[in-house]
A and B are shown apart, each in its own frame.
Chain A
């Protein structure tokens, strides 16, 4: 027994000395040669890099492996990437591919290959199944003609910019999960399912020289390790910076470069029209002070002046400013009287609402702050927390005010958000919002091709919902990136979450 213990102890001592000696080594290797290897952190890690499946395409896009026919620029507009352009004429779209686009193995990207990719995507990804209903035909060696059937489909170009629509060399790829052959500026060198990922420069990149030698994506879910790794210099940049970390970085502007643009992840609330009358809803919306709420979330959130980033054409709506006096007056006109406890009541019943939330995306902070603000004008409330909102309060509509967070713009177009939250019978339209006028305009939006008219329609639709006090749009998460000085081109100016390294990413 004694001997064994001694042996064990010695073994452990050895382990410790070994590790202490090897201590720092890991972090500092190979920064040599031209471009260097960029080290960064990823908050998600998937078991596969099959571009078409699930949301894996978001990450193959971040890793710089896959590219779609189009990509989004800083203003959330779909611009050319693998394809030059896509032009709609009624229910026919004509897509023109760029010349000289090839996969990392040198094979060219042909219209046939694009069609095969879209067919596969429609088959393996439920969210894109509708693409399979269209009729895709190759036309010559660089054109594809898409017949969208009897309905006009104005969204095709934007949809094709989704990272899931990345192109894979379906003929040459042997292992879709671990080694898909794509067109991106980087190729996979090491893929650990649900772990770290290493990529290297694609020597055959069709778009010219790739500046970096490669990149490493460490899987780090928690904010603390990312901050610490950035401080110790083990990673060069990362995005989705937390507000705690942001303050640390801002204290040392010479050591860290922080770039922040309004993103597309929206914090909002639904007001239950079946339970709260018009005056109460309006009073709530006049009370909730989104500027103050954004202040609490220092730097990580921008005030939502509409569900969409201010830079878009479809964010031009007007929301009444905070006016607590008017809110009180509205309640009093509606028959409420202020009780001795500072809470409004009607027919002897105090005005107490149920605020439902889930503890993610800072919604817990929002819940507490909204509760405080409402209390100040005389609206009492209690909080209900759920682990899973979709199958609880969203499904049962058992709430007065429900907080939710979702991506409001996934492809540079308002239709997706309107369809999900405002259309009749939409999955997230659970607060009883109904408007025939709105429904009519949504129908028009579905077939309207002209971007300006689309934006105009969207603005009108959202304005109806705002005037009806059906929702409250609170904040849009910023897309915040921190970088060491000298690092740039890490998609730090694009509002979407699915871009990362590209051919122009540089360090030093």
Chain B
């Protein structure tokens, strides 16, 4: 058993190291970038990877490697921020609904239904129109539907444990709802909801990119993986590197964070 735990611990550390490296890359991308990520050059359009440009150049002759590095910051930061906010809101709403039931549950869940049915694009366009363009509008548009999935999941897990003996015991001890939710329910439902949060990272990154492509997310020339992919995809047959490297960066980032989530979860279970 101990051996097993040590092994799991090692996995958490490995995954955390990788995730840490990614975050460091994002933070120090400005220093790491070998070329100016915004410098265009008509002589260097769509150059294949070479010693000077390890990942080649894009449609405007910009260094893809530098843009991938700089883009890490935009993509990772905005994704995490959005997932975290949605996760927190979703957890709170879900627990309230599951624990109290009745009218609270009804109202909050119907609000969730309401939010889900909103077409994201309408929200994105309206918010961009009202607040001005940029990542903020895109994040609100995605967040408005995203928290609901966390809420539903948290609620269904709360429901399934709320009649467990230890909750009843806590009630009999005179603990109030808030205490029970914080000390008994949350730790027990955290894992599955966290897994959902981790699987949302990919969709969120893609969602932010999708809106960027339509001019509702990042504003040019800011580098962002998704919009880099979108900008380069028309040239996938002649300059595949301009699509594949940001795509690989996205896929690798998601895999690392998913793996970290899994490792942490299993380690906690073993305790």
Assess A/B contact in the complex (Cβ within 8 A). Answer: yes
Give the number of residues in B that approach A within 8 Å (Cβ atoms).
27
Q: Are B219 and A244 in contact (CB under 8 A)?
A: no
CA–CA, A414 and B45, complex, Å: 35
Q: Are B234 and A368 in contact (CB under 8 A)?
A: no
Q: Which of B39, B45, B128, B216 interacts with A296 by CB under 8 Å?
A: B45
Contact A387/B216 with A248-B238, A369-B40 known, Cβ cut-off 8 Å: yes
Q: Are B220 and A227 in contact (CB under 8 A)?
A: no
Contact pattern, B 212-237, Cβ under 8 Å of A = 1, otherwise 0: 01111001110000000001011111
- Residue A224 is within 8 A (CB to CB) of chain B in the complex: yes
Min Cβ gap B237→A in Å is 5
Secondary structure of the B side of the interface?
loop
CA–CA, A223 and B230, complex, Å: 12
Q: Are A227 and B128 in contact (CB under 8 A)?
A: no
Complex interface: chain A residues within 8 A of B101 (CB): none
CA–CA, A368 and B39, complex, Å: 10
Q: Are B219 and A383 in contact (CB under 8 A)?
A: yes
Residues of B at the A interface (CB closer than 8 Å) are: 38-40, 42, 45, 59-61, 125, 128-129, 132-133, 213-216, 219-221, 231, 233-238
Q: Are A385 and B60 in contact (CB under 8 A)?
A: no
Residues of A at the B interface (CB closer than 8 Å) are: 223-224, 227, 242-245, 247-248, 251, 292, 295-296, 298, 357-360, 364-365, 367-369, 371-372, 383-388, 392
Q: Which of B40, B215, B236, B238 interacts with A385 by CB under 8 Å?
A: B215
Q: Are A383 and B237 in contact (CB under 8 A)?
A: no
Q: Which of A224, A298, A368 interacts with B45 by CB under 8 Å?
A: A298
Contact A387/B125 with A227-B237, A296-B45, A371-B221 known, Cβ cut-off 8 Å: yes
CA–CA, A368 and B59, complex, Å: 12
B231 to A, closest residue via Cβ: A364
Q: Which of B61, B220, B233, B237 interacts with A248 by CB under 8 Å?
A: B237
Q: Are B234 and A224 in contact (CB under 8 A)?
A: yes
Complex interface: chain B residues within 8 A of A227 (CB): 237
Q: Which of A223, A244, A247, A367 interacts with B220 by CB under 8 Å?
A: A367
Contact A244/B237 with A365-B59, A368-B60 known, Cβ cut-off 8 Å: yes
A372 to B, closest residue via Cβ: B40
CA–CA, A203 and B153, complex, Å: 65
Q: Are B220 and A383 in contact (CB under 8 A)?
A: yes
Contact A364/B215 with A298-B45, A384-B133 known, Cβ cut-off 8 Å: yes
Extra 13 A-B pairs, beta carbons < 8 Å, given A296-B59, A383-B220: A224-B234, A244-B234, A244-B235, A244-B236, A247-B238, A298-B45, A359-B220, A364-B220, A365-B60, A384-B132, A386-B133, A387-B128, A388-B125
Complex interface: chain A residues within 8 A of B215 (CB): 358-360, 364, 385-387
